Structure 1
Amino acid sequence: MNATAPTAHAETGVERTPFGYITATHPRLDRIQNAISAVCAVIASIAIVLTTILVIVGIVARAVFDAPIGWSVAFIEMYLLTATAFFGIVAAYRGGAHIAVVSLFNRMPERAKKPLLVLSYVAVLIGLGSLFWAGISGTAYAIAISMGPVPGSSELLIPGWIMQIIVPISMGLGIVVVGIDLVREVFSPWDAPRTNYEPGDDVDEAIAAVPVLTDDAFDTDAPPTTAVTQIPGGRKKGIR
């Protein structure tokens, strides 16, 4: 996720911010999505920092003072890693941090890209909705049976539903973010996608820019040769 100053993509008319994007067509909706992304990113970042601190403190306490912290491992596994993963999903989605293979997608006509984006948003919403419902069910079950650590154990006496509720809260926020993208695509003209914020690199140009060595380059007795780089526009550039 990029935490630098906002940058504008002239070719798409989209301004990238630390927690998402700003478009000229729906800036208010963009700010709602970016605000949710920022909240999720802050929560995930705090969880990562606390995890790092607790791991270091736990190692020092065990190795130097022979006094291990009994509750730290369970707290990290149950709360901090859960918060990092699920809130991080939302922030990564809005910030465009997920890995995406777009070589085939970018070759398609604009009219064909739009329905594919709509289908992808529907699939994402189904996944988020399933996790949301599972989280709600887990939270209700934890409350019903008073789930929590056994008294006298080394774990912190935190009610079990607090861990369970991390999932529906984060997934609920994710549903809002993705749902806005879906609504914007469905109710906008179908001549081109409206939420393909950062199309990605042109694969053909990236491949063409890779230096191509001639056979003489591997001949140690031959004089220095010139590697040929094919660049967009059909021109060639020599690299010594």
Structure 2
Amino acid sequence: MTENEAPSRAERAITGIENALATLAALALGAMLLVMVAEVVMRYILSAPLGWTVGFVQDYLMVAVFFLGLSYSYRTGAHVTIDFVYRRQGPRGRLAMALIGDVLSFALFALVFAAGVATTAHAWTLGEIPAPGGGALSWPVWTSHVFVPLGCGVLLLRLAATIAAHRSGPARADLEAGT
């Protein structure tokens, strides 16, 4: 982005939401560490395991870390990429590969988003709570499912903005200029 190109209001909003969700993901990661250390201390030093920690970590904290950090990871390039072929392409090939990758990612995460919304809505509508003895925590099930559509929804906004930028932004201008 050049100095003359100010981020749009939508771009700033998406970035702000991504940063907030990334902060929540980092807090969930820290909480995961603290909860597991507490469980180890309680289980192996005091011989009094807490019992709820594994369910809390797997149903809430791990899901939050992954899904709430998705869009931030994409925006900052913190995700895993294999760019062996990409680096060897010219501007037109790179633009095409980036656009195809973003469109395919959008399609995949749109499906995950839709499934997450359906699952969360179903659990909410039924007031689903694990049966006694069926789970370590008897919290409403939707409270763990909601991280999926939340994280995927923000990622879809980011992907849509990126696809629009590919079609009309600096990458397109560079391509048209022949650089």
The reply to whether TM is greater than 0.5 is yes
8 Å CA contact 1:151, 1:157 repeated in 2? yes
Superposition deviation, residue 39 in structure 1: 1.4
| Equivalent in the alignment of 1:66 | 47
Cα distance in structure 2, aligned partners of 1:24 and 1:167: 37
| Equivalent in the alignment of 1:162 | 143
| Equivalent in the alignment of 1:224 | none
Cα RMSD, aligned residues only: 2.2
> Quick check: which one's strand share is greater?
1
| Equivalent in the alignment of 1:43 | 24
Superposition deviation, residue 153 in structure 1: 6.5
| Equivalent in the alignment of 1:177 | 158
Q: 1:21-47: CA deviations, max 9, x gaps?
A: xx7524235433432221121111011
8 Å CA contact 1:113, 1:192 repeated in 2? no
| Equivalent in the alignment of 1:141 | 122
Assess, with a 3 A threshold, how the Cα gap between structure 1 residues 75 and 124 changes in structure 2: closer, same or farther. same
8 Å CA contact 1:44, 1:84 repeated in 2? yes
Runs of at least 5 residues in structure 2 that lack an aligned partner in the other structure:
none
Work out the percentage of aligned pairs sharing the same amino acid.
25
| Residue type at the aligned position of 2:166 | E
| Equivalent in the alignment of 1:192 | 174
> Quick check: which one's helix share is greater?
2
Cα distance in structure 2, aligned partners of 1:164 and 1:182: 28
8 Å CA contact 1:114, 1:185 repeated in 2? yes
The one of 108, 115, 128 aligned to 2:96: 115
Any residues of structure 2 matched to 1:6-45 within 5 Å, and which? Answer: 24-28=4-8, 29-45=10-26
Assess, with a 3 A threshold, how the Cα gap between structure 1 residues 104 and 82 changes in structure 2: closer, same or farther. same
Superposition deviation, residue 170 in structure 1: 0.8
Compare 51-60 and 150-159 and name the one that shifted more.
Answer: 150-159
Cα distance in structure 2, aligned partners of 1:25 and 1:89: 26
Larger RCO (alpha carbons 8 Å, 6+ apart): 2
8 Å CA contact 1:148, 1:159 repeated in 2? yes
Q: 1:1-54: CA deviations, max 9, x gaps?
A: xxxxxxxxxxxx57xxxxxxxx75242354334322211211110111111101
Cα distance in structure 2, aligned partners of 1:157 and 1:31: 38
8 Å CA contact 2:71, 2:151 repeated in 1? yes
8 Å CA contact 1:149, 1:159 repeated in 2? yes
Count of residue correspondences: 173
| Residue type at the aligned position of 1:86 | F
Cα distance in structure 2, aligned partners of 1:36 and 1:179: 15
Q: Secondary structure at the match of 1:66?
A: coil
| Equivalent in the alignment of 2:62 | 81
